[in-house]
Amino acid sequence: MSVAGTAPDAPARAPDGLVDRLRRRWHGTHRVDPWGLDGDVAALAAGLARLRAAVRVDGAGHLPATGGALVVANRGFDPAWVLALYAGLHRSGRFPRFVGVPDVEPLGPVLRRAGAVAGHPDEVASLLAAGEVVVAPLRPRWGGRAGGLAPDLVAPAVRAGAPIVPVAVRGSEGGIRFDLRVGVPVGRSRARPVGAAGVGPGARSPARGGRPTGLGVGEAVDATRRGIEDLLGG
């Protein structure tokens, strides 16, 4: 996988072998977060996603290095595209939290281990407040254009002042190679230098008290859809 643009390097991690992970599980010292994410399972899933999908990322620097953010992608229900998003966004050093997991055992808890969460506005609000990157899909739509976006998923980000980042995924070569284009967070100027408004490496996130988008929910939804359409058309 290659990363273009101003992508931050993935944080340095101590090499973690299979034996270490098995030992952690045996002793119960592996990490689980309140939304069900299991660090070892998520790392394994991200590794498998990288094996399955070769992803080229453009504009990764638009993703905040810390703090909460809502990423809106053009497709979310196609497993191959989910893998591409998972592999691409994982390069930021953070686990993307895909909304839409059903609250049914055993499917829900299994998907939560890898980072999925419910598409509940209050769950999105809690995740953003905890500084997580939440990924919400547009509704599928035929004809190469972006579909609709549920305002109740955008509202928590607007209220929290978290960046809303449009992302477009385009596939090729039999669903193996993908282009992942990360757009400028909605409500911000392209001319603003990366890092000055909480969107670059080490910048302060609006979800942690930085600069909000200044948009209403409806405006944010429209701007996000336009942003994704621009990325798809560019």
Partner 1 sequence: MRVLVTGVGGELGTRVARLLEDHAGVTELAGIDVDPPRRRLRRTDFLRVDPVDRAAFTAAVAAVAPAVVVHLGVYEPSARAEPGLAAARTAVGTAATMAGATGAGGLRRVVLRSGVEVYGRGRGEPVAPHEGVPPRPTSRFGRSLRRAELVVDDAASRAGATVATLRFAPIVGPHFPSPLGRLLRLPAVPFAALADPPFAVVHQEDAARAIVAAALGDVAGVVNVAGAGAVTASQAARLGSRVPVPVLGPGWRVAGAVAELAGAPVPDHVRELLTRGRCVATARAASLAGVAPERSTPDVLRALYDWAPVTPIDVATGSAA
The site for partner 1 (CB under 8 A) is made up of 25-36, 103, 105-106, 108-109, 112, 117-118, 120, 122-123, 125-126, 129-130
| Of 57 and 135, CB closest to partner 1 | 135
Would you state the structure tokens that stand for residue 143, as one six-digit string?
A: 């004809």
Q: Which is nearer to partner 1, 13 or 27 (CB)?
A: 27
**Of 58 and 132, CB closest to partner 1:** 132
| Smallest distance from partner 1 to CB 200, Å | 23
CB of 115 to partner 1, least distance (A): 13
Cβ at position 152, least distance to partner 1 in Å: 13
Q: In whole angstroms, how close is the CB of 136 to partner 1 at the nearest point?
A: 15
Tell me the closest approach of the beta carbon of residue 4 to partner 1, in angstroms. 34
Burial 40-55 (b: 16+ CB within 10 A, else e): bbbbebbeebbebbeb
Q: Which is nearer to partner 1, 31 or 145 (CB)?
A: 31
Q: Which residues contact 184 (CB under 8 A, 6 or more apart)?
A: 59, 62, 190, 199, 227
Helix (H) or strand (E) holding 10, with range, is: none
Collect all residues with Cβ–Cβ distance below 8 Å to 34 and sequence separation of at least 6. Answer: none
CA–CA distance, 96 with 69 (Å, rounded to integer): 10
Residue type, 224: T
**Closer residue to partner 1 in complex, CB, 71/125:** 125
